[in-house]
């Protein structure tokens, strides 16, 4: 074989090794977490002081855990990320074309039950809020021209379980360079 052919064969072997390693790592991570969405970069300060811009948040599939709301957590003393209840990553109004949001599950409402702004809930779901925000998402946030609705369980992508400072910055930088990447929610999430 010529040296140019040897070089191509070695490059092919290296590419195969890298693909196998990535496949094993992703498969093990999926087996451990139950989701292909392993981590999310925090893009805003709405979860301050418990999550910061540039943090990488690792998640667990909602099917692998029970979601505890702020109200329930306060009663039983259950805290995550410095406050009561779980932090969830969800698709606002179930839309795939909108960047997911990472906020705390504050309480569960049933259909017709009064929401924080006094309106009846259009369906059962979680009322959510950023730790630094004064109002619930269902009061203050809009998706397109409609207010964020209570979060249905099927809209939840993951439940936050760990935070690594600064590791989310590469994802945020990529989003600024290549905005279309954030159509894939595993790359970045504003809080």
- pLDDT for 180 equals 53
Can the peptide bond before residue 181 be classed as cis, meaning omega within 30 degrees of 0?
no
- pLDDT for 29 equals 58
- pLDDT for 37 equals 67
Q: pTM (2 decimals)?
A: 0.77
Note every long-range contact of 165-168, with CB atoms under 8 Å and residues 24 or more positions apart, other chains counting.
165/52, 165/54, 165/55, 166/54, 166/55, 166/56, 167/39, 167/41, 167/54, 167/55, 167/56, 168/39, 168/40, 168/41, 168/42, 168/43, 168/53, 168/54, 168/55, 168/56, 168/57
- pLDDT for 11 equals 81
- pLDDT for 9 equals 83
Question: The tokens of 46 are what?
Answer: 């709405």
pLDDT by residue, tens only, the chain of 191 residues = 556 678 888 888 888 888 777 666 666 555 555 555 668 899 999 999 999 999 999 999 999 999 999 999 999 999 999 999 999 999 999 999 888 999 999 999 999 999 999 999 999 999 999 999 999 999 999 998 999 999 999 999 999 999 999 888 888 787 777 655 454 444 445 54
Question: At the fourth CATH level, which superfamily is domain 39-183?
Answer: Umud Fragment, subunit A (2.10.109.10)
Domain chopping of the chain, boundaries: 1-33, 39-183
């Amino acid at each position: 074989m010529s040296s140019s052919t040897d070089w191509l064969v070695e490059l092919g072997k290296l590419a195969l090794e890298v693909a196998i390693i990535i496949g094993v790592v992703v498969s093990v991570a999926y087996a451990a977490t139950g989701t292909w969405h392993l981590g999310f970069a925090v893009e805003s300060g709405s979860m301050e002081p418990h999550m910061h811009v540039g943090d990488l948040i690792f998640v667990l599939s909602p099917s692998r855990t029970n979601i505890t709301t702020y109200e329930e957590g306060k009663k039983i003393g259950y805290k995550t990320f410095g406050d009561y209840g779980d932090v969830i990553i969800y698709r606002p109004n179930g839309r795939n074309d909108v960047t997911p949001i990472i906020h705390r599950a504050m309480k569960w409402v049933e259909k017709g039950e009064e929401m924080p702004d006094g309106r009846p809930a259009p369906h059962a779901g979680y009322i959510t809020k950023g730790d630094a925000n004064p109002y619930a998402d269902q009061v203050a946030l809009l998706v397109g021209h409609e207010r964020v609705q209570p979060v249905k369980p099927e809209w939840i992508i993951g439940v936050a379980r760990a935070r690594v400072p600064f590791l989310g910055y590469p994802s945020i930088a990529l989003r600024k360079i290549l905005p279309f990447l954030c159509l894939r929610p595993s790359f970045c999430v504003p809080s």
